[in-house]
Amino acid sequence: MRGLAAVTGATGFLGRQLVRVLAADGWRVRILARRDPIDPLWRDCEPEVVPGSLTDEAALARLAAGADVLIHAAGLVKAPNRAAFDAINAQGAHRVALAAREVPHVVLVSSLTAREPQLSHYAASKRAGEEAMRVVLGPRLTVARPCAIYGPGDRELLPVFQGAAVSPVLPVLSERARVSMIHVEDAARQVADLAAAQPAGLLTALCDDRPAGYGWSELMAAAARACGRTPRLAPVPGTIVRAIGITNDFTALLGASPMLTSAKARELLHPNWAVAEDERTKGLSAARYDLEAGFADTVAWYRSAAWMKH
């Protein structure tokens, strides 16, 4: 038995897989959750549940008590403004750090976008969360910056695959941008690797075995192949992408939750989401999924869960 691993964000897209991997690796797992979760991924493990949220300091203290490692994986990916992002991604991270002052090792699951905080409120809030935790925890903090995570249960990329399954033409957002990717199971394994290591103030990016990333044409063609199709690829000028994002900003003010906002457009059009060699950490689990296998696995899950009809 490795010890006790405390986890926030356990019921999220990455967190669900992370709990399963930690338990399989021999950790006793304790999670923070608003309600007692039931998850088919956890058939072989029974995590201890601490009821509460990131705003509940007493619950955070119970979560951290006696833990050998605390993994802070909770975060907000959509919000109407910077204050809403900061309330969870920055202030929430700070509260977790304060609760974990006696925990020997804390792992923060941040985002590769934190490398470019000027691009969006989301990226800035993730960077602020890193800095807030580092002030409290110093070298006991390990920061993991995953690149774009996809896989079974992912709602963010679902519209891409739905479009690839039916559309005769797929958009290519940029001809020169590079985007690194990682399957959610591989990301969970790499986070678990970091949790098991000795803390050393590490800041590391997480990606698959192609850190140089993929072009948008490659990504869209691979998504189409996973759906059994070969549609035509059509470049979309960046000005159009930005214009759609700005238009959607106004719909967001009316309560909608558009996928493409102006901030998301800036992130998508950023030319370099590749991972440099000096951003990686040696010794982490190699990716089990390349892009083709990962996208095929994702589409198979979407269809089995009736998220996709085609």
pLDDT of res. 163: 92
Report percent pLDDT > 70 for the chain.
93
pLDDT per residue rounded down to tens, the chain (310 residues): 789 999 999 999 999 999 999 999 999 999 999 887 877 888 888 899 999 999 999 999 999 999 999 999 999 998 888 999 999 999 999 999 999 999 999 999 999 999 999 999 999 999 999 999 999 999 999 999 999 999 999 999 999 999 999 999 988 887 788 999 999 999 999 999 999 999 999 999 999 999 999 999 999 999 999 999 999 998 876 676 666 666 655 555 545 555 667 777 787 778 899 999 999 999 999 999 999 999 999 999 999 999 998 7
Q: State whether the Cα torsion 268-272-277-280 is positive or negative.
A: negative
Domains of the chain: residue spans and CATH: 3-156+180-213+272-289 (3.40.50.720)
Q: pLDDT tens digits for 248-290?
A: 555 555 455 556 677 777 877 788 999 999 999 999 999 999 9
Encoded tokens for 252? 């967001």
Residue position matching structure tokens 């399954």: 165
pLDDT of res. 243: 63
The CA-based diameter of the chain, rounded to the nearest angstrom, is: 56
* Those residues with Cβ within 8 angstroms of residue 24's Cβ, 6 or more apart along the chain or in another chain: 44, 45
Is there a contact between 31 and 48 (Cβ–Cβ < 8 Å)? yes
- Rounded CA-CA distance 297/256 in Å is 30
- Rounded CA-CA distance 246/266 in Å is 11
22-28 contacts at long range (C-beta below 8 A, 24 or more positions apart): 22/71, 22/192, 22/195, 23/47, 25/192, 25/196, 26/1, 26/2, 27/1, 27/2, 27/3, 27/195, 28/1, 28/2, 28/3, 28/4
pLDDT of res. 172: 85
